[in-house]
Every structure is written in structure tokens, then in C-alpha cells.
Chains A and B, each alone.
Chain A
Amino acid sequence: MSSLIATNAMPGKSNWRAEIEPLTDQERTDIEHLASHYPRAQAATIEALKVVQMNDGWVSDGKVKAIADQLGMSPDEVDSVATFYNRIYRKPVGKTVVAICDSVSCWIMGYRDLQETICEHLDTPLGGTSADGEITLLPTPCLGVCDKAPAAMLGDKIEGPLTPEQLKELVEKARGQQS
């Protein structure tokens, strides 16, 4: 994991000396379209970050600068928004993000077994990425499927109720599809 996050001079500090990474034409068009939903372009900041993340998997300093440019903001303003929301990734993640719900209903129904098994299986703590760079494990607050607890989200798909073995199988399937 640590080798993957060496983009910043200091951990947790953004590096605005980084070269701007231009947005693609499609990204610019998408962001422009989203900004047209609001009387102020800045309102589209979160959605702009999501547009970039959809393509890159995460949002680099250079892309933060590019978004700031397009929306008429400073990079720090954009970054203050990007770092607030847990679904915007400011560091590289694996090809599939596996988010394990750790809120109350899933806790009661046994999320700890899911978490322990999968961390051991991928040999990484929550927040880490598997050695092959395929899977990033994250905790997530309540996914809104408490009737299917314990649950997890793989990519954009929510699955539950899961046994540790089922989660392992789904993770392996995601890994297979990616590579």
C-alpha cells in the first residue's frame, strides 16, 4: 500500500506544485453538464470529483487542480470538499473496492467474522490494498440493507447476507474478472 501512495511529499498533505493533469474532453463535458443543474458551477464539485474517480479510480492532486480550474475555485477549496466525503478517494485504490458495513445491524449479525476473514485472506488491514493491487478493503457505515446483514459492497454492488466464505468467493470472483 505504501508504495502506491507516494504521490505526495508529505502524507496527508496535498502538493499543489504537482503538474495539472488535464481533464479529458468527455470529463469536461460531463462536468459542464452537471454544473448546468445549479446556479453556481461550484455546486458540481462533488459530482466533478466523482466523474474523475469513475475513470481513474481515485482523484490525484493534478486532477484536483484541473477540477478547480474548470469550476473557478482554488485547489484547496476543491480538496477541502474531496477530503470530507468518504466515497471520494484521494489515494489510489485497487481495481475493486470492497466496503464492509460495520454499523449496528451488521455488527449484531456478525460483521466481525467477515472482516477478520477477509483481512486475513487478502493479508491486509482495512484501508489496505491486496499485494496484487486488485482489491482495496474499506470499512463503511450502514449500507441501508440491514435486512440483509451482514452486508458488503463490492464495486457498485451491495451483497448480503454474507458468510465469510461467501465474501471470500465474491472477492475472488471480482479479482478474476479484473485481471
Chain B
Amino acid sequence: MNTAADIKTPLSNRIKTDGSVTTLSEYQADYGYQALKTALAMSSADLLNLVKDANLKGRGGAGFSAGLKWSFMSPPEKNPGPRYLICNADEMEPGTFKDRWLMEGDPHQLIEGLAIAAYAAQAETAYIFLRADYEICAERLETAISDACAAGLIGKNMNDGGYSLDIYLHTSAGRYICGEETALINSLEGKRAIPRAKPPFPQISGLFGRPTAVNNVETLCNLPHIVQHGVDWFANLGIGEDNGTKLYGVSGRVKNPACWELPIGTTVREIIEVHAGGMQDGVELRGFLPGGGSTDFLTTEHLDLAMDFGTIAKAGSRMGTGTMILLDDQTCPVGMVLNLIEFFAQESCGWCTPCRNGLPYIRQVLRNLESGIGKPEDLETLLEMCGYIGIGNTHCALAPGAAEPLQSALKYFREDFEAHVNEHCCPYGNSGAENDQPHSHSHSQDNPVSGSHDQAEEAAEI
């Protein structure tokens, strides 16, 4: 058996390359569920402190300390009754495909991590909120939960203190906004996924009004390894200021688009040039969204930055989910931003005005630019709109997230926006008409079957 020091890719070690799932017996043969046993022998408070000391930052995008998150839950002594731990497996950030890899390949790792988190948070019910389209994950997680229960690993009286845990899989029915934790909680209660006003935060009043913590899949998958191998081992995995590994992904015109587990703090250059194999022949890199569709563009001058939370934030963006989307020199930056805004406008829950009306307004300005009828003042309008939908003006982070790629594209690729105005067309040959004809482009119309629709479409036509 490997010693702890040899384990460099703990989260993906058991993931097989042939796409088949790691079974319970295979998982247990490789120290699976031992960490849960160790954790259950500790007090919840000691376990929570261990994770706090490990400085495990949330891998869902925000990078908030997992241990700290649980510590904000109102304590059972003051607030007796049910408490909940929710796994956010609603991976819907455009360009993000890392949690699917973990859940398809090694579902027991998530179940064990979830059980450890639930124990630390003193929650006796846990839900996995899984996005609708991940059918393979659903099947494998369902099997993993029932196998773990049948083997007596999860269930009643798991330790001397009589700790019991029920884990349920909830499969969702779509909508990006479900990834916002309070929207997710509303969705789990069987309601429309509209974010809640905060405070109160979910740790005080969450699912069914009870103390609730929501953690991302990758975050939870780190827990068994932290418990098993300790805080020092975890700290040594990272290269820079953050601890552990990170799942990084690259999509766009590279030779080998994929997802890898690497030391957190690996440089952007290494991820793109070594792991993704560099750009495809004939195209050059112009910029990248470091961590999903709602992060600011960075450019080739940022290639030597470490992909960790602090470094990317200092450069003016966010590491987000750590899955990069690359812009190449033959792809129109205006068109790319339009595609993202189409997504965010469609996925707005419609609750607050800046998001509901602002995003379709921006979409129309961008469509005008793409179809060659943009005006010079449109660039200032777009910047102004980024302010209106920015942080502090909206009910949740959806619209501020949508502003990020737009505001940074205006900063780094301004000449492309200007060229659209000056040349009265998209210099990359995108036909703007595509975006103007309701029947040839998805976002410009109601989803005709589900009835879910984009409320502000008509109101914002300009």
C-alpha cells in the first residue's frame, strides 16, 4: 500500500480510465470508508476543527472555508431539531464538467465525504442535489447509497454516540439557478428555484427552516483523504498558498480537452500547454475564462499565474470552478460574450429587475453589434449596464457573474467591439441574423415545450 506521501492525486486515484465505476468492494480495498470510521470516533467539534485547520476551500467556485461554513450553523443546544447537509451536485456552470467525473468514477468517495461532513455538521439527514442530465451519475450514486446502507456503513447508530444518517439522492429538473445555494434549498423543498433573501443564511435557517450547510461535490470528496492522511499531508499537496489538489479542466480549441487532478496552484500555462496539449494547429490562444462562464477573461499575459483562489483574484478574475474555457484568435470575442449573456438571460429566475430586464437589454445590444447595426455609444452602454447588474444591486450572484466576462471582454478585446461598429458586421463572419431570428436560435425564444420562459424578452427589445 502506498504511504500517504506517495498519494498525489487522492480524488482521482480510484477513477478508472475505462469509464467503469469503482465498486464498494474495490473502494473498501483501497482504504475506503476507513476515514469515516476514524471521523466517527472523534467528536463532531474535533472533526470540524481538523477540516478548518486543513483550510479546505470550497471547490464549487466561491472558495469559502468548508470548516468555517459548518461552524456558522446554529448549534443543536440552542436550536434543537433536524439539521441538514446538502451536496451541491448541480454542476451547470458553462464550461464545467469536473464533478461529473468524480461522481461517475468514484461515487463512494462522495458518499463517504458527505457522511463525514454531515457528522461534522451534526446533521442526520443529507441530500445530494444532482442536476437532471447526469443520468449515469444518478444511477451510480443510487447504487452506491444502497450498497453503503446494506453494508451497514451508513444508517443507524454508526458510532458509540448513536449517530445516525440518512442520505437521499434528489435528481433535479434543470435550471442553472439551482446551483445558487438558497435557490437549491427552495428547489429541494419542491418550489421554484428562486434564491432567498439573506440573512438569514442557510446555516441559521435553511432547508425547511432548519440549520443547513451546502457543500460542493469536489469539496466533499476531499474530506476522507484529509481525515485519513492529516492536515500536513493536505497542505503539502498544494503548490502555492492554497492546500490540496484541484480538478482543472480545459475546453475550447485545444488538442486534448479534458479534466485533470493537479496540485492546486499549478500554472495556467502548464494546464493549457502540457495537460491540454496546447492549442489545435492553426489557432492561437487569445484569452481564457479561468473558472467557468461567470468569471472575468484573462489573457496570454496571465499564463504564468498560479491557478489558486488568491492569485487569480489579484489578476482581476476568479478561479471559480477551475474549468477554463479558451478563446482562440479565430473565435469572435463579442460572439462568445453574446453566447454567455444569452445563457444568463435565459437562466435568470426573473425575481429581481436588474437581472430580469438588464440581461436581455445587454443581449440586444450585443446582438446589434454582431449583426452590424451597433453604434459607437453601445460600448459605453454595455459598461454602464455592467454596473447596474453588479454586486449589491441584485438578489443573487447570477447577474454580477454574467457581467464578469462582459466587462473584462470590453477591457481586453475592446478593438473587436469597435471593429463590429466600424465595419458594420462581425469581422469573424458570424451572421448576426442567427441571433435575431427567434426560430433559429434557442435563447431568443421561450422554451416552447417546458413553458419556462424568459420574462423580459419583449420588455427589453430596444
> Which residues from chain A sit less than 8 Å from chain B, CB to CB?
12, 37-40, 42-47, 49-50, 58, 71, 80-91, 93, 99, 102-105, 107-109, 112, 115-116, 119, 125-128, 136, 138-149, 153, 156-158
CB closest chain-A residue, reference B450: A86
- List B53-105 residues whose CB lies under 8 Å from chain A: 82, 91-97, 99-100
B105 to chain A, nearest CB (A): 14
Query: What are the 3 A-B residue pairs with the smallest beta carbon separation, nearest first?
Result: A139-B442, A127-B448, A146-B251
Is B95 touching A46 in the complex (CB atoms < 8 A)?
no
Q: Is B352 an interface residue (CB 8 A)?
A: no
Quote the shortest CB–CB distance from A88 to chain B (angstroms).
5
- Which of B171, B340, B434 makes the CB contact (< 8 A) with A50? B171
| Complex alpha-carbon distance, A96 and B395, angstroms | 37
Instruction: Report whether A125 and B208 are in contact in the complex, using a CB–CB cutoff of 8 Å.
Output: no
Contact for A145 among B100, B325, B440, CB less than 8 A: B100
Q: How far is the CB of A178 from chain B (nearest CB, A)?
A: 18
20 pairs, CB–CB < 8 Å, chain A vs chain B: A38-B189, A40-B208, A46-B172, A50-B173, A84-B192, A87-B172, A88-B450, A89-B449, A91-B449, A102-B342, A103-B343, A104-B340, A105-B95, A109-B251, A112-B434, A126-B439, A126-B445, A138-B449, A144-B133, A145-B97
Q: Which B residues touch A89, using CB under 8 A?
A: 449-450
Is the pair A147, B336 in contact by a Cβ cutoff of 8 Å? no
Q: How many A-B residue pairs have CB under 8 A?
A: 192
A158 with B133: CB separation less than 8 A: yes
Q: Kindly report which residue of chain A lies nearest to residue B331, judged by CB atoms.
A: A108
Interface residues on B, range: 35 or more
Question: How far, in Å, is B357 (CB) from chain A's closest CB?
Answer: 19
Distance, CA A119 to CA B442, complexed state (A): 12
Shortest C-beta distance, B146 to chain A (Å), equals 13
A140 close to B133 (CB less than 8 A): yes
Complexed CA–CA distance, A69 and B367 (Å):
45
Q: Is the CB of B440 within 8 A of A81?
A: no
Most chain-A Cβ atoms within 10 A of its Cβ — which of B172, B257, B323?
Answer: B257
The answer to whether B346 and A141 touch across the interface, beta carbons within 8 angstroms, is yes
CA distance A54 to B92 in the complex (A): 23
In the bound complex, do residue B450 and residue A105 qualify as a contact, i.e. CB atoms below 8 Å apart? no
Residues A141 and B94 in contact, CB atoms below 8 Å apart: yes
- Which residues of chain B come closer than 8 Å to A141, judged between CB atoms? 92, 94, 174, 176, 343, 346-347
